[in-house]
Amino acid sequence: MRLVLSIVLLVIACTFTPQNARSEDRNLAVQHALKAADAWLNLIDEGKYRESWAESASFFRSKISADDWAKMAAAARNSLGPLISRKFKLAAYASNLPGAPAGQYVVIEYDASYANNKSVIDKVTPMLDSDGQWRVSGYRIQ
């Protein structure tokens, strides 16, 4: 009986290690970040640039005004033309990114096609904001 109990405890200890907990936390973070990125990209796709600024992470809003963001985003997206398609490519969890404060980030890439450019990578970086919500802190079109 003791042997069986020892084996059960060993299995439980191996299953619920801090590494597994971190991995599960990261997977959950990626899921939340993907939802935030998709909702934010929908605003961009609809031309709601000021709303996208308001829904962005506080770090993002501290780096650019709503007016400047709306002008930049409109110029970039108008040159691409309407979105034809966007497909998830990859997501990577990070705790440190160049030029950004330490925190929780997920770098997400989508393969996208626009009317004026058929092969684009939309890179969106949500972060866990100070209020505990995932919000976009960066956007890049490559």
Structural domain total, the chain:
1
Global confidence as pTM? 0.82
Instruction: Using DSSP bridges, classify how beta strands 105-114 and 83-94 pair: parallel, antiparallel or unpaired.
Output: antiparallel
For residues 99 and 89, give the distance between their C-alpha atoms in angstroms, rounded to a whole number: 24
C-alpha distances out from residue 47 to 34, 43, 107, Å: 20, 6, 23
| CATH code of the domain containing 24 | 3.10.450.100
What is the residue-level pLDDT of the chain in tens, covering all 142 positions?
A: 443 333 333 333 333 333 444 777 899 999 999 999 999 999 999 999 999 999 999 999 999 999 999 999 999 999 999 999 999 999 999 999 998 999 999 999 999 999 999 999 999 999 999 999 999 999 999 9
Residue 125 sits in which domain range?
Answer: 2-141
- Cα angle at 47 between 92 and 114, to 5 degrees? 65
